[in-house]
Amino acid sequence: MKILLASLCVISLLVILPSVFSASSSSEDFDFFYFVQQWPGSYCDTQKKCCYPTTGKPAADFGIHGLWPNYKDGTYPSNCDETKPFDKSTISDLITSMKKSWPTLACPSGSGEAFWEHEWEKHGTCSESVIDQHEYFQTALNLKQKTNLLGALTKAGINPDGKSYSLESIRDSIKESIGFTPWVECNRDGSGNSQLYQVYLCVDRSGSGLIECPVFPHGKCGAEIEFPSF
């Protein structure tokens, strides 16, 4: 009887343990990244408004919102590792670049640290199987420089001047410049006008290169959207 009970216990453990380890490893498993950049003018002219960073008004350029691990089915992991909190000291050499390229616009005004902490802990911890904390932020900075969204648009005559442009021309201009299809997210200004808000690009699982998106987020823009000044 004792032998039988011991055997049953072992069998139970063998059944339970794989599921435990699977849940643990899947928390950092993902298929690709969304690299998301936002236009500050469209963040600030909504009814919600915005607050400039403590360092002053950011440049009139797309700023990084985040680098987000995603699954091909459209879902995504989040808050994957509470044991690896944001550590500013690990990115001390990147702070100057991050204040410029990854500025906060949330109220009240801040240095950006709370924004970066949120992005790391919600999204970055889910990419630890591939890149560490320093590499996570460095990768996002490299991608911003590589993509140069504002340059791609202005080269095509699409300027942040408050005028309306076709969604198709915005998408095509970015694709022509970087070689991959973007997904454009719109929001509405204080008067209810649809406007260019964020641009999503997809990045391979290693974070080393752009790819065509396996799946796009939900939501849509009108055929004509504004590109507000900042």
Mind listing the pLDDT tens digit for each residue in 56-71? 999 999 999 999 999 9
Residue 136 backbone dihedrals phi, psi, to 5 degrees: -60, -50
Task: Give CA–CA dist 67/26, Å, rounded.
Answer: 19
At residue 27, the pLDDT reads: 46
| The two structure tokens encoding residue 199 | 């641009």
Tell me if residue 187 falls in helix, strand or coil: strand
Q: Is the pLDDT at 169 greater than 70, yes or no?
A: yes
Beta bridge partners of 67: 35
99 has pLDDT over 50: yes
| Phi-psi region at 209: left, alpha or beta (left = phi > 0; alpha = psi -120 to 50) | beta
> pTM for this structure?
0.87
Q: What is residue 49's predicted lDDT score, i.e. its pLDDT?
A: 87
Helix (H/G/I), strand (E/B), else coil: 143: helix
**Mean pLDDT of the region 7-24:** 39
Rounded mean pLDDT, 136-142:
98
**CA 114, CA 117: separation in Å to the nearest integer?**
5
Q: Residue 87 pLDDT > 60, yes or no?
A: yes
Catalytic residues: 65, 119, 123
More confident residue, 13 or 83: 83
- CA dist 140 and 186 (Å) reads 22
Tell me which of 3 and 33 has the higher pLDDT: 33
What is the structure's pLDDT at 28? 57
Does 101 score more than 70 pLDDT? Answer: yes
